[in-house]
Amino acid sequence: MNAAETRALLSALRAAHARGQRAAIATVVGVRGSAYRREGTRMLVLDDGAQVCMLSGGCLEAEVVEVALEVIRTGQSALTHYDLSEDATWGLGIGCGGSVDVRVERVDPEDPVTAAWLAALEAGEKAALIVPLGPGAGRLLVTPEGEALGDLRADLRPFALAAARERLTHLEPRAATLAAPDGTPVFVDVSTPPPQLVLYGAGHDAMPLASQAHALGYDVHVIDPRGAYLTPGRFPGATLHALTPEELGAFMPGERAHLIVMNHHIDRDRVCLAHALHSGAPYVGVLGPRSRALDLLTALEEEGVTFTPDQLARLRSPIGLRLGAEAPEEVALSILAELMAWRRGYDGSFLSGHAGRIHHEPTHPVTPPLEPEPVTGAGTSPTR
């Protein structure tokens, strides 16, 4: 689930609580075979049946809303298995060929674990929420520092802590359901800071890149010494930094930063490239042909500015996928497509004709469907 969806869900939840409405959050906790969304995808359901975000392409939502309304009424969480095969999905031929498990829980803002988890999502802080998928096992919220909040069945606690800490060491941690030593399925949900996109340069072509990135949930920063170019009207939702090349040291990128040099000014680009490569950010790109990046590196070397092999290995040029992009909006799409593939470990190739898995290997090692927590009077069967 990307940062933009999380932002929309939390905003709707805040507004609902302000109106005195109750709500439930439905979370995909297991996927087998093909499905539209992966583990960790969330949907908010309000007590009037309104929903925010989606768990699928539209084939699950109505059923999940019915389950959620019963969960809101009773306060009893529910675990539901849905078969999305062509023949099993209501006879409508809209299945994906796989199956998903969805856990629905009523949101109790007074519960300390729930409050801490929502605060971590709101602030974009790293944290892991451990939820054994069975009744009476408790929950645990774990921070990267190892602090734990909540109650968990004693025999599950060592496994849960180790799983949470391991997951939080990843740059792009993914939610997953893991099998504890005794076979108990344990869902590990994750909160992470939004990916950061830093644009050195506030020219015309930076505007669609910043706008599209913000819509995808990036924390966008634009750096340029020309204050007249750095306006909220040109870069809505972005953080703006009016820094000269000599002042770049005042800006420190985050650990999930993607830095793109696009000043279209050879002197500024040279200084910005040195700042980017020395920053430790995992992705550094230079807009334009490969020869431009090489010329910038040569000029820096002649000035006595050197880089380690590891720093140079983070340099990408040209940037973007080979889409035939020409207009600034198309170039922005090409660049963001590469960033998504790079962040998630894909090669950005065509899916047409691909016979294997579209997504990474399953994160759900439990072979049979999870035992559902029955929901009474919800108007739907817990297993489809």
pLDDT tens across the length of the chain (384 residues): 788 899 999 999 999 999 999 999 999 999 887 667 889 999 999 999 999 999 887 778 899 999 999 999 999 999 999 887 654 444 444 445 678 899 999 999 999 999 999 999 999 899 999 999 977 778 999 998 888 999 999 999 999 999 999 999 887 888 999 999 999 999 999 999 899 999 999 999 999 999 999 999 999 999 999 999 999 999 999 999 999 999 999 999 988 899 999 999 999 999 999 999 999 899 999 999 999 999 999 999 999 999 999 999 999 999 999 999 999 999 999 999 999 999 988 888 888 876 666 665 444 333 333 344 433 333 333 333
CB burial of 14-32 (b: ≥16 within 10 Å; e: otherwise) equals: eebeeeeebbbbbbbbbbb
Cα–Cα distance measured from residue 104 to residue 102, given in angstroms and rounded to the nearest whole number: 7
Cα–Cα distance measured from residue 195 to residue 79, given in angstroms and rounded to the nearest whole number: 31
Tokens of 108: 């109790």
Cα–Cα distance measured from residue 167 to residue 30, given in angstroms and rounded to the nearest whole number: 17
- Report which residue type is found at 260: I
Between CA 90 and CA 61, with CA 185 as vertex, the angle to 5 degrees is 30
Structure pTM? 0.81
Contact (Cβ atoms closer than 8 angstroms) between residue 71 and residue 375: yes
